[in-house]
């Protein structure tokens, strides 16, 4: 069993409350991008957001719930990036029959977009690479049903006519976990060139595992 996802104390129902929540998440993101993780505390987040610690605790009981909320917000933003930068161009190309369907290229584009997003969002890098997202939230975001892998699954079901099976869900979970860990490893390299080499090898490995290997 995995831990349940950490949840805020309450959901904002008024515009003022929504603004407070956004200030909290923005402040946490700014701190995660600027200082070591161990120094990001609820007190620092409240001060950065310009609110009292009591106002912060009205919505979030601890910093883990804040980290999870920041991560989930980034995942949603990244899904928008994928929709605009990968899915919509693919749909246009397929409609116009420009080169046909290339599953490996699709996965490579997803990985490239993820790397670009990581480059532009240091706070998300800190959370993802520091493994600071709770087990429950990570489970939901990595699920082929509710998380990012569902995008790849929908592509395989709709465009490749692959049947939905437990084996496919397991494969997608392995791809998601392996990709995340290998990309984190890539960012540990001493040079940008070395990082990019690891990412290219990651693409080769994951596309081969997902699209080339014999069916079980």
For 1-43, what is each residue's pLDDT tens digit? 334 445 555 555 567 889 999 999 999 999 999 999 889 999 9
CA dihedral angle for residue 64, residue 66, residue 72, residue 75, rounded to 10 degrees:
-100
Contact 140, 189 (CB under 8 A): no
Q: Kindly report, residue by residue over 189-198, the tens digit of the pLDDT.
A: 999 999 999 9
- Helix, strand or coil for residue 164? coil
Looking at the predicted structure, is the pLDDT value of residue 65 above 50? yes
pLDDT score, position 11: 58
Boundaries of every domain in the chain: 70-212
pLDDT score, position 51: 97
> What b/e string do you get for 44-60 counting C-beta neighbours within 10 Å, with b at 16 or more?
ebbebbebeeeebebbb
| % of the chain surpassing 70 pLDDT | 87
CA dihedral angle for residue 8, residue 22, residue 127, residue 182, rounded to 10 degrees:
110
Of the two residues 58 and 146, the one the predictor is more confident about is 58
At what angle are helices 122-129 and 63-82 packed, to 10 degrees? 120
State both tokens at 21.
């929540």
pLDDT score, position 213: 60
DSSP 146: T
pLDDT score, position 69: 94
| pTM for the model | 0.84
Contact 213, 103 (CB under 8 A): no
Cα R_g (the chain), whole angstroms = 19
Q: Kindly report, residue by residue over 94-106, the tens digit of the pLDDT.
A: 787 756 678 888 8
Strands (E), the chain: none
Strands (E), 27-177: none
């Amino acid at each position: 069993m995995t831990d349940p996802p950490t949840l805020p104390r309450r959901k904002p129902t008024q515009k003022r409350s929504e603004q407070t929540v956004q200030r909290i998440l923005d402040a946490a993101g700014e701190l995660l991008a600027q200082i070591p993780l161990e120094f990001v505390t609820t007190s620092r987040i409240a001060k950065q957001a310009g609110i009292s610690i009591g106002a912060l605790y009205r919505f979030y009981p601890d910093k883990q719930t804040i980290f999870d909320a920041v991560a989930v917000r980034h995942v949603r933003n990244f899904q928008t990036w994928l929709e605009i930068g990968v899915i919509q161009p693919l749909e246009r190309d397929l409609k116009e029959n420009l080169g046909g369907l290339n599953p490996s290229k699709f996965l490579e584009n997803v990985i490239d977009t993820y790397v670009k997003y990581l480059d532009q969002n240091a706070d998300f890098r800190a959370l993802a690479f520091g493994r600071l997202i709770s087990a429950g939230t990570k489970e939901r975001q990595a699920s082929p049903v509710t998380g990012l892998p569902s995008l790849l699954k929908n592509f395989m079901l709709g465009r490749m006519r692959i049947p939905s099976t437990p084996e496919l869900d397991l494969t997608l979970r392995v791809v998601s976990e392996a990709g995340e860990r290998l990309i984190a490893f890539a960012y540990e390299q001493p040079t940008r060139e070395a990082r990019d080499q690891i990412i290219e090898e990651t693409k080769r490995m994951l596309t081969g595992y997902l699209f080339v290997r014999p069916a079980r």
